[in-house]
Amino acid sequence: MKKVLIISTSLRNGANSEILAHEAEKGAKEKGHSVDFISLKGKEIKYCVGCMACQKIGHCVIKDDANAITEKIKSSEVIIWVTPVYYYEMAGQMKTLIDRANSLFVADYKFKEVYVITTSGEQDNDGTIIKRVLAGVQGWIDCFKNVKLCGWVSGGGLNNPNEAKNNEEILKQAYELGKKI
């Protein structure tokens, strides 16, 4: 059994990416893993100011919700980043949280496996969209020893809220990603 953390970064009600995140959660739980689900909706996460104090004291000096989330990242063995795609890249709130998790660089973190779930309005037939998001996530992964990108799901053609609920193929892919852990 692994400790899994799913971080849903969409702020939209009826977010397609969050629907897929819950499918991955079902698959991981069915496999017997302990799953913690965090949504960034309603969370206050300010921008990193680059002071680097976190490298000395082990946490960010900014008082908001990012420190509690970073602690959960640190203590989890598997991280699933979930994001809608904006302009062929991860959502800004996801990147802001990644930047704020800079204290993990010097921490005794437990995570070794990272997965990614994305949704976009545009179909991703040639993999262009997911490759751009994965490049950003890989940049974060590359900062940590023995951490690897283990899989992803890319759901394209999902423009309106709750559309993912009717896409059996992409729901199954997200569920199988959770079971794969």
Q: How far apart are alpha carbons 88 and 128 in whole angstroms?
A: 8
Number of structural domains (the chain) is: 1
Q: How far apart are alpha carbons 115 and 2 in whole angstroms?
A: 14
Q: Output DSSP code: residue 48.
A: P
Question: What is the token pair recorded at 60?
Answer: 């960010």
- Provide the CATH number for the domain around residue 103: 3.40.50.360
Indicate whether this model's pTM tops 0.95. yes
Looking from the CA of 44 toward its CB, the CA atoms found within 13 Å total 3
* Per-residue buried b or exposed e for 26-44, using 16+ beta carbons within 10 Å of the residue's own CB: bbbeeeebebebbbbeebe
107-165 confidence digits (pLDDT tens): 999 999 999 999 999 998 899 999 999 999 999 999 999 999 999 999 999 999 999 99
Kindly list the distances between the CA atom of residue 132 and the CA atoms of 91, 120, 170, 175, in Å, as whole numbers in the listed order.
Answer: 12, 12, 19, 23
Question: What is the token pair recorded at 139?
Answer: 């940049």
Helix H segments across 31-159?
54-57, 66-75, 92-100, 128-141
Question: What is the token pair recorded at 39?
Answer: 């949504």
Range of the domain at 109: 3-180
53-110 confidence digits (pLDDT tens): 999 999 999 999 999 999 999 999 999 999 999 999 999 999 999 999 999 999 999 9
Give the closest residue to 18 by CA, choosing from 135, 112, 118: 118
**What's the average model confidence in pLDDT over 40-44?**
98
First-last CA distance in the chain: 9
Q: How far apart are alpha carbons 71 and 104 in whole angstroms?
A: 9
